[in-house]
Structure 1
Amino acid sequence: MSTDVISARESEVLALLGEHLSNAEISERLFISVRTVESHVSALLRKLALPDRRALSRRAAESARAERSCPAPVLPESLTAFVGRVRERAELAAALGSRRLVTAVGPGGVGKTRLALAVARQAAEAGDFADGVWFVDLAPVVDAQRVGAAVAAAVGVGEQPGLGVDEAVLAALADRGALLVLDNCEQIRDGVAPFVERLLVACPGVRVLATSRARMMVPFEWVFPVPPLSWDGGGESEAVALFVERAAAVGPVPDPSVFDEISAVCERLGGMALAIELAAARWPTLGPDGLAAGLGDQLGILAGGPRAEDRHRSVRAALDWSHDLLEPRDRALLRRVSVFVLPFTAGAAASVAAFAPLDPVAVTDGLGRLAEQSLLTATPSATGTRYHALETIRQYGTERLADAGELADVRSRHLDWCLAGATALADGDGTDRRERFDAVAEDLRSALAWAVDRPEHRADAHRLALSLAGLAFTGNLLGEAQQRFEQAAALAGAAAGAAALREAAGVAGCRRLGDDMFRLHLAAAEVARGAGDTVAAGRDLAAAATVAYRFSSEFALVPTVDEVTGVLTAARELSGDGDPAGEAAVALAEAAVLADAFGAVQGAADNTAERTVRYAERAVALARAAGDPVGESAALDALSGARTWSGDSFGAADAARRRIGLLASVSHGPAATHELMDALAMAAGTALGVGNLAQAREWSVQLADQPLFAEVRHHATSWLLVTDAFAGDADAVLTGGEKFLDAWQRSGRQRSFSLGPAAASVAMIHGLRGDHEARAAWLAIVGQAGTASEHHHGYGAVFDAMVLLHHGDAEAALERLAPEPERVWKWISWIWLHWYMALRAEASVLAGHPAAGERVEAGLRLVADNPVAGVQLQRARALLEGDVPRQLATAAAFDASGCHYQAARTLLLAGNGHAAAGTAALAALGLAPGAR
């Protein structure tokens, strides 16, 4: 190879050669001439000593592959060395190379988890799975329906609007080449098996390594029985090697002279890894004689029964033996703390276990002794030492609780502890609430699952379900929040049940599940009516009718007109006179119904639009009189929509803006949070529609920063992308576009009224950059994220026209905007009307259309106060009249409004000595030179 240094530009050319681009394509991508590209290719052939262009492409592709690195495996760190299992590791690794699902089966304590981790770590280090290796511990999961949630937490997938957590995981892993290790599947096998089967079908690049006490009976499963450790061979055996290594960790290294005795102990323990480790922990204090005496007859006496396998009896024997070596008080403590699912503190243990014969001091002392004897693990942390029992020991302790007659008492104490902890979490500040919630969440769920089946604890179960719902909501676990609110409703009395259902409806709104919102409001009405509260039932029915129209785009199956009309009629009958909240709710429903009906038949007489506005204004006034800011915001939304249909874009933006101020001081429960999310999106969109780019961006950023949007960046950043695109900020759009695309793909490729314009804005920026291949790719995404009619007649026409005008094809732009605004009113009235009018007039001027002057003047009458579209029309008038000074004056106005793209384009259109400055300004924005 030549020693000549490859320049930065040559490196760029080489990378594009690796993508198999032609010289012309590379020229277009890098904004250099084809001749310059040819020069760089020749230099690369010489410097790299390669024979031809094909060899250059191969070299570039190989370099790109070499630079890619597999994500770091998400595996728990082992605190002790992994011993032996050479044959098993090799067989499991080979199986994972050819099988989609491999299940390592065996009794508890045989070492399945450690073996699976060793194989997974080996695969990660070898780079066998390009997209990562993840470990999911299912031991804490007590609800079979939460298998997907556990996987989501391990993989880092958040809940997605309109998707259950299982679907979100499948969408996230659909195109991944990854290994998923599912540990401790046995206790929720009924939940794991269907999830894994769906995973294998939906995610062809994912492989699963599971550990379980029994096979899952899933198609494609390959079962690998994990055998006990071999004890033959003295010091050379795996079992003895494990025993010696663990014994040396707590005391002197056993002398080789006693290896035969250790081998005998390992044989009596059946070669079970857990039993061997427990025995090894006693080696420094008991020695070989003490161990032999401790085992005694217990291997046979404390067997698991005639149907149990020998290895299963060996694990139980080891646990029984360790248990019987404890002092009576430590035995009581071990069984009582077995109710904790997650690591717990000494204070938590005292709350549950400190009753006769134990007091708090005895609990604290006993925890230390149990940790010393390997029956608990102790982990220091900033909040104090936390203790945790292996799942096998927890199950063993639960059996002992039942044998001692303490199960109900300890479970009740655990429930009380969970209730107190949930209350403290809800009342505390939010600085580390999610972390503190995660530390107790599975215990709360476990306590709730136990309490719901016991009538004497029904009230406690209702309280805990409500608390868990609220905590899940603030922790952005929206699917669980809705589930728990509905569970609380089922456990509550009528009045409390209706309130919980309303909260569930609010969460469903945040999840963009219109069907659930409608169902839950109807259910709340039914429960309220059953409790004799007909006024509240009327409000709930009105809310259901409002949802059916206001959020119709979020329904999988929109209710029929007759169904919603019947609901609204019932709401009127039940609300009655004298209830301000009820009157406001019904007025809002009527305004929503009327606005939707007018929108569906746009083109009706003007008095229909005026009537729609009057209904919405009445709803706003009634909600304000009722002292309901959330209801007033919803009514303002109806007013914004009504003003849109009447052609009053500025009035629509003003109504949307007022919603933000109303909600600023409202406590953000589910309903208020849903309202705020909608308000920010509508305010951003309508501000954009009247050319207020700074305000549109401010609200778009606030929307993107909403915690509930943390894992759904495609919704969070949709209006931000559109706003930045109109401003001409190419770098922001391209960077945000990649994040948008990744989040959208992970979400399952949803459709939404805001996602189509977002994708189209990225396509437009690529078009303004001259990257037509990338633009085509993004237009394909538009077709999947939005709807065809909206793109064809609405935002698509606007964005396409901007690209066509940029490249000097005024006739094609005019053709794209050919329909009169009245013909496409339904698709352009909300946000795109002013942009459509301004672009249509400009295209008419540049194409020499005979009606150009009329279109400019008509546009100015409509959008004169729009700081971008209005100025664009002033520029069009100056172009029509050949008034260059007036053209140039608009450039400063564009810059002042934040629309730097149009400011640069103004200089280009002015021509002569200004064109070069316009080209430079476009280049500074990251855009290609436009055509005059």
Structure 2
Amino acid sequence: MGEAANISPREAEVLELVGDHLSNAEIGARLYISVRTVETHVSSLLRKLEVPDRRALARRASDRTRTDRRRPAPALPIRLTPFIGRAGERAALTAMLEEHRQVTALGPGGVGKTRLALAVASDAADAFTDGVWFVDLVPVTDPAMVATAVAEALGLGEQLGHDMAESVAAALADRHALLVLDNCEHVVDGAALFLEHLLAACPRIRVLVTSRSRLMVPFERVYPVPALSLPPAGDAGGDASGSGDGGSDAVRLFIDRATSMGRPLDPAQHGQVAEICERLDGMALAIELAAARYPTLGLDGITAALAHPLRMLTGGSRAQDRHRSVRAALDWSHDLLDPADRALLRQVSVFVTPFTAPAAAEVTGFDAASVADGLARLAEQSLLAVTFSPDGTRYRALETLRQYGADRLTEAGELHDTRARHLNWCLARSAELALPATDWRARFDRAADELRAALAWAEHRPEQRADAHRLARALAELAFTRHLIAESQQRYEQAAALADTPADTAAMLRHAAAVAACRLHGDDMHRLGRAAADAARRAGDTAAAARDLAAAASNAYRFSSKFVRDLPPQEADALIAQARELAGADPSARAALALAEAGRALTRAIATAHTAAADAPRETPPCDTPASPTPHAASGPTGPTAREAVASAERAVELARLDGDPLAQSAALDTLAGALSWAGDAFAAAATARRRVELLSSAPAGPSGLYVPAGPYAPYASGGPAATHELIEALGEATEAALGVGDLPGARHWARRLADHPQLAEVGHRATGRLLVAETLAGDAEQALTTGLRFRDAWQRAGRPARAVLGPPAAAMATIHGLREDPEARRDWNTLLTHVDPSPWNTLGYGAVFDAILMLHQGRPQAALERTAPEPAQVRQWTTWIWLHWYVALRAEASVLAGAPDAAARLAEARTAVAGNPVATALVARATALLDADTPQLLATAAAFDAAGCRYQSARTLVLAGGEHTARGARALTGLGLAPMAVR
């Protein structure tokens, strides 16, 4: 390719990953760069390779790498020792995996399931174009966390409005990959539920499970993993090949591991090795442990040790016998330790993840120096694995050994005390994690499974209830900061159940409700808010109960789009009535009640507007008939309902200000902005939205960067989750309000800040959608294409939700592709638009605006005029907030360019309606100059558009000016990545 020299090495890496169909977030994670940097590289590649969209870029990447394309390297643990034998098992399991979508390698602990699964996965890697992924479930103690473990292995984050299982399924929906889930036996129920959802949603995914027990689901195919092959009966270890192993994988494994210790085996001893392997029933783990002792005990010593009485246990199934043989080998290895090392081995078994020597000293209570020495001895005897990392040496017991240690801990009567010390250690770690640090995320990820395991042990023990509550709360806060918001909600609810007092229960439920709001789960938010009110009543705190009830009502009004079940008006009225009975003279309760009443007033105002619109005549006068004078286009309904909503919201704002709670003020300002918009004062609504963001941005921050309330009302402000939710909503509102008044730089600023919010880093289709609309209206086609790719990718990862709020970005992208003369891409986006929003918001609101922009660009003013034929008053309920000024101005321009006889009248009405909006005013001024054939005035509007940040309209103005200006305007349009404009 001739353009290869112009592509940087980093761009080449990004191009290859685009060809592998990775999202921008996945590319960023793979290359350790930010999502914004990935967007920049994708945009550059689109320009350099002269392709219109990401699909074409992916095809170009495929062409570029067709001859030497490499599949992703299998994400499998590196084997430190060679895999011995099992050729038949590997072939059989591989064949099953080719035929069935989910195969379970079943067998007792120590039989070698994991090693076999890793070998098969490595063998099959070339068959899976999107890679092989390994997930170790040993640290997972809660069956509900299986999806989280898989997501962490894949490098995925949670998606708003979806749990982790849905997020993983969305990410793998079109992937051809193999997933290896190792050690499922202790989380069988959770693994079964997760796999049922995953396999239904991801038709090209195959899953290989290792477990000691079946998942017991219809789609499961089981491969019983046998013990390692032993020499044929009567064979003393020789075979025809002269290898001395009798064709036995067990003997070969023992010989390999024993000789790796530096002491070779004499071939004459192979028969004795075969006897040892037979006594160990061919169990891989037992053979490895026995071979590790060969340098110190020799074969005679090993044979003598296997005479331990526990080895003589009989009865039960063959699988149980094999399990007992492993137990015998472990008992033997354990009995060879001195008492101090035995105690250390059993007490460190409480760790579910790799641990350091200082951590072991804290949990065991032993001297630090003796612990360090003891861990080294256990590692030397292969009872602990050693890993080295920048933060120090870490140790880990294999799962079978860890479970063995736990059994010994119980037998010694030390389980409770050791677990309690482990719990205290976890509480100390959670306190440390609450402090800011540059490596916070890595530290949390290392500690998270330990915290979860400690909590799982403590929550059902009455004597540990208080500590369990503390840990659940700490884990909830940490998970929220780590953006694991589904787990955060779960932990807050868990902390509520463990609280000692109803007041503490209520506080935790409020936090849980705020997290549910961040997840877009309105029904959960409502349920938890009501539960908090019940708990506050039990605590005797009627003012707090009033606040909770009022908040439940106002949240139902403010966030209705987040609810699956709409809150019936009578239920909301009942909540407000109950809150009024309980509020008394408490300032914060009165402020919350005022907010709920303001939300009700605004809801009624909106309902009145919609009813009036539904009852209004739908006929419109023909274009050649002068239109009758209309009211101020932005004035809106001025009846008692609109005035009542504004007055009620202003009262709520004032009461919240007097109460001194920034979050209550933000909520009240939100309602006021909506009321002002419906009352027709778009500029006051925009100012109110900006005031709300500024209020939240200036609030005091805690260690995590989130607002932490102080003062007497701190328990009711919900802290970080509530503040995060308010800020996300405020940024979205500020973006839309700025678009409505023509503040394009402001809209892009707020939208970029929203799109970059850490809570939305992985699934910000709503956030990036607002940014996409701002970029499209500004005429920044190149950036809009990049943002559009990010939007669509996030929308697909979120499960392709159908929400009206996603309609404007879809319409914006359809318009961009129309302006670029890419009909195929435009059809795709119009299909997406129809899916997400078939409502009148699309037909009569933003859809009319975007269609008019494109029709005017194409030189079809008559079509644009027909698209905007309804009078503004008729469609006001669909254009309020963002689209009214755009609709009015574009309608006036279409009238002029189509030669409508009422064009002058429409211009006069539009001029009054959009006064104060720099972009809409420039549109009307340009249309007036065109009507008057005033070229100097026409050119003056180009500067006005540039000043307003609207590059497309500036270039369009030059083309409309004609003459020498046409070529300059055409070049400007080309520079924006748009097709030439038609002028008729």
Give your verdict on TM over 0.5.
Answer: yes
Distance 2:697 2:60 in 1: 57
Q: CA deviation at 1:739?
A: 1.9
Q: Are 1:302 and 1:316, in contact at CA under 8 Å, matched by a contact in 2?
A: no
Residues 1:331 and 2:339 are matched in the alignment = no
Show structure 1 runs of 5+ residues with no match.
10-17, 19-29, 32-57
Amino acid at match of 1:432: D
Aligned-partner Cα distance in 2 for 1:255–1:663? 77
Q: Distance in 2 between matches of 1:303 and 1:718?
A: 67
Q: Secondary structure of the equivalent of 2:395?
A: strand
Supply the distance in 1 between the matched residues of 2:598 and 2:61 (Cα, whole angstroms).
62
The one-character-per-residue Cα deviations of 1:335-382 (angstroms, maximum 9, x if unpaired) are 11111111111111111112xxx4332222111111111111111211
CA contact (8 A) 2:506 2:535 kept: yes
Matched, 1:902 2:953: yes
Deviation of 1:659 (Å): 1.0
Q: CA RMSD in A?
A: 2.2
Structure-2 change in CA distance of 1:820 and 1:409 (3 Å): same
- Residue 800 (1) aligns with residue 799 (2): no
Query: Map of 1:439-588 to 2, 5 A cutoff?
Result: 439-492=446-499, 493-577=501-585, 579-588=586-595
* Deviation of the 1:584 alpha carbon: 0.9
Q: Residues of 1 paired with 2:166 and 2:95: CA distance?
A: 30
For residues 276 and 698 of structure 2, the distance between their equivalents in structure 1, rounded to whole angstroms, comes to 69
How many angstroms does 1:8 deviate by? 9.3
Match of 2:40 in 1: none
Alignment-mate amino acid for residue 775 of structure 2: D
For residues 593-604 of structure 1, the aligned pairs below 5 Å read 593-602=600-609, 603=612
CA shift, 1:197, in A, is 2.1
Counterpart-to-counterpart distance in 2, 1:654 and 1:556: 32
Give the deviation of 1:178 after TM superposition. 1.6
Q: Is the 8 A contact 1:176 1:206 kept in 2?
A: yes
Asked whether the equivalents of residues 821 and 979 of structure 2 are also in contact (C-alpha less than 8 Å), the reply is: yes
TM-score when scaled to structure 1?
0.91
Shift of 1:7: 9.2
Greater Cα shift, 336-345 or 210-219: 210-219
SS in 2 for 1:379: strand
What's 1:265 paired with?
276
Seen in structure 2, the aligned counterparts of structure 1 residues 909 and 248 have a Cα distance that, compared at 3 Å, is farther
**Match of 2:659?**
626
- Determine which of 716, 719, 722 is the counterpart of 2:770: 719
Q: Which runs of 5+ in 2 are unaligned?
A: 6-18, 20-45, 48-58, 232-238, 613-636, 707-719
Residues 628-681 of structure 1 deviation map (CA, whole Å, 9 limit, x = unaligned):
111111111111101111111111110000111111133320000100000111
Pick from 857, 867, 884: which aligns with 2:918? 867
Residues 308 and 332 of structure 2 are in contact (CA less than 8 Å); yes or no, is this contact kept in structure 1?
Answer: no
> How far apart, in 2, do the equivalents of 1:89 and 1:918 lie?
67
Q: Measured at CA, do residues 139 and 803 of structure 1 come closer, stay the same or move farther in structure 2, by a change above 3 Å? A: same
Task: Give yes or no for the alignment of 1:644 onto 2:677.
Answer: yes
Aligned equivalents of 2:171, 2:306: Cα separation in 1? 50
1:154-200 per-residue CA deviation (whole Å, 9 max, x = no partner) reads 22332222212122222222222221111111111122122222222
Deviation at 1:248, TM superposition (A): 3.6
Distance 1:6 1:647 in 2: 56
1:224 corresponds to 2:223 = yes
Q: Which amino acid aligns with 2:172?
A: L
Q: Deviations over 1:442-477 (max 9, x none)?
A: 111111111111111111111111001001100100
Distance 2:417 2:315 in 1: 26
The letter for the 2-side match of 1:509 is: A
Q: Is the 8 A contact 1:751 1:787 kept in 2?
A: no
- Answer whether contact 2:807 2:842 (CA < 8 A) is retained: yes
Report what 2:758 is aligned to.
707
Structure 1 residues 287-302: aligned runs within 5 Å: 287-298=298-309, 300-301=311-312
Deviation at 1:848, TM superposition (A): 1.1
Q: Is contact 1:186-1:212 (8 Å) kept?
A: yes
Q: 1:703 Cα shift?
A: 0.8
Q: Which amino acid aligns with 1:370?
A: L
Residue 389 (1) aligns with residue 397 (2): yes
The aligned residue for residue 75 of structure 1 is 76
Amino acid at match of 2:89: E
State whether structure 2 residue 874 is matched by structure 1 residue 841: no
The alpha-carbon distance between structure 1 residues 555 and 770, as it changes in their structure 2 partners (threshold 3 A), is same
TM alignment of 1:650-661, pairs within 5 A: 650-661=683-694
The offset of 1:607, in angstroms, is 3.4
Contact 1:838 1:869 in 2 (8 A): yes
What is aligned with 2:625? none
Report if the CA contact (8 A) 2:286-2:330 is conserved.
yes
Distance 2:216 2:578 in 1: 51
Structure 1 residues 740 and 885, CA, compared in 2 at 3 Å: closer, same or farther? same
**Partner residue, 2:236:** none
**Amino acid across the alignment from 2:303:** A
CA distance in 2, matches of 1:909, 1:59: 37
2:259 counterpart of 1:285 = no
Matched residue type, 2:445: D
Q: Which residue of 2 aligns with 1:344?
A: 355
Amino acid at match of 1:515: D
Q: Distance in 2 between matches of 1:352 and 1:59?
A: 56
Report the Cα distance in structure 1 between the residues aligned to 2:437 and 2:846, rounded to whole angstroms.
40
Aligned length: 876
Tell me the amino acid that sits aligned with residue 734 of structure 2. Answer: A
Judged with a 3 Å threshold, the aligned counterparts in structure 2 of structure 1 residues 121 and 410 are, in CA distance, closer, same or farther, namely same
| Counterpart residue type for residue 923 of structure 1 | T
* Kept after mapping to 2: 8 A contact 1:575/1:582: yes
Aligned letter for 1:576? G
What residue number does 1:95 align with? 96
Q: Distance in 2 between matches of 1:308 and 1:221?
A: 20
Q: Counterpart of 1:75 in 2: which secondary structure? A: coil
- 243 and 223 in structure 1: CA distance in 2 versus 1, 3 angstrom threshold: same
Other structure's SS at 1:386 match: strand
**Is the deviation greater in 522-531 or in 853-862?**
853-862
> Residues 719 and 754 of structure 1 are in contact (CA less than 8 Å); yes or no, is this contact kept in structure 2?
no
Residue type at the aligned position of 1:622:
L
Counterparts of 2:514 and 2:261 in 1: how far apart (Å)? Answer: 55
Aligned to 2:716: none
SS in 1 for 2:389: coil
| Preserved contact between residue 845 and residue 879 of structure 2 (Cα < 8 Å) | yes
Tell me which moved more, 740-749 or 548-557. Answer: 740-749
> Which amino acid in 2 is paired with 1:290?
G
Question: How far, CA to CA, are the matches of 1:766 and 1:62 in structure 2?
Answer: 24
- C-alpha spacing 1:655/1:376, structure 2 compared with 1 (3 Å): same
Flag the 1:185–1:696 CA change in 2: closer, same or farther, 3 A: same
The residue aligned with 1:46 is none
Alpha-carbon distance in 2 for matches of 1:220, 1:611: 60
| 2:598 aligned with 1:591 | yes
Instruction: State the distance in 1 between where 2:288 and 2:914 align.
Output: 79
Tell me, in whole angstroms, the C-alpha distance in 1 between the residues paired with 2:668 and 2:848. Answer: 31
- TM-score norm. by structure 2 comes to 0.86
User: Residue 107 of structure 2 corresponds to which residue in structure 1?
Assistant: 106
Q: Which residue of 2 aligns with 1:414?
A: 422
Q: Secondary structure at the match of 1:717?
A: helix
Tell me which amino acid in the other structure corresponds to 1:755: L
Answer yes or no: is the 8 Å Cα contact 1:469–1:485 preserved in 2. yes
How far did 1:784 drift? 2.3
State the partner residue of 1:159: 158
Is structure 2 residue 828 aligned with structure 1 residue 777? yes
User: How far has the Cα of 1:62 moved from its partner?
Assistant: 7.9
Identify the residue that residue 441 of structure 2 maps to in structure 1.
Answer: 434
What's the CA shift for 1:308? 5.2
Q: Shift of residue 430 of structure 1?
A: 4.0
Q: Does structure 1 retain, via aligned residues, the 8 Å contact 2:108–2:319?
A: no
Residue identity in the other structure for 1:599? I
User: Residue 591 of structure 1 aligns to which amino acid in structure 2?
Assistant: A
- Quote the Cα distance in structure 2 between the aligned partners of 1:684 and 1:560: 30
The offset of 1:59, in angstroms, is 13
Distance, in Å, in 2 between the alignment partners of 1:928 and 1:532 is 68
Asked if the contact 1:515/1:555 (under 8 Å) is kept, the reply is yes
Larger RCO, structure (CA 8 Å, separation 6 or more): 2
Counterpart residue identity of residue 885, structure 1: P
1:314-337 C-alpha deviation (Å, 9 max, x unpaired): 211111111111111111111111
Instruction: Confirm or deny that 1:697 pairs with 2:708.
Output: no
Deviation, 1:557, is 0.5
Q: How does 1:846-857 map to 2 (within 5 A)?
A: 846-857=897-908
